[in-house]
Amino acid sequence: MNFTNLLYSVDAGIATITVNRPDKLNALNQATVRELEQAFLAAKADPAVRVVVMAGSGPKAFIAGADINELAQLTPVEALAFSRHGQRVMLTIEQLGKPVIARIQGFALGGGMELAMSCHLRIASDAAKLGQPEINLGIIPGFGGSQRLLRLAGRSAALELCLLGHSISADRAYQLGAVTRVVPADQLDAEVDKIAKQLAASARYAVDGVLSSVLVGGECSIEQGLDYESQAFALCCATEDKQEGRSARQTCQPQNVLLREKCPRQKFFSLGEDARKNLSFQQYVLLPVPGRRQTLRCRTNPSAAAAR
pLDDT of residue 32: 97
**Is 134 in the active site?**
yes
Mean local confidence (pLDDT), 290-304: 45
Neighbours of 122 (CB within 10 A): 29
Please give the helix or strand (H or E) that residue 94 lies within, else none. helix 76-94
Q: Does residue 296 carry a pLDDT above 50? A: no
pLDDT of residue 257: 31
pTM: 0.80
The CATH number given to 6-200 is: 3.90.226.10
Distances, alpha carbon 100 to alpha carbons 90, 94, 173, 188, in Å: 11, 8, 18, 16
Q: Which of 35, 114, 191, 229 is catalytic?
A: 114
**Is 223 in the active site?**
no
Q: What DSSP state is assigned to residue 20? A: -
Q: Does residue 93 carry a pLDDT above 80? A: yes
Q: Which of 35, 78, 134, 273 is catalytic?
A: 134
List the domain boundaries for the chain.
6-200, 204-307
129 phi/psi in degrees, rounded to 5: -125, 130
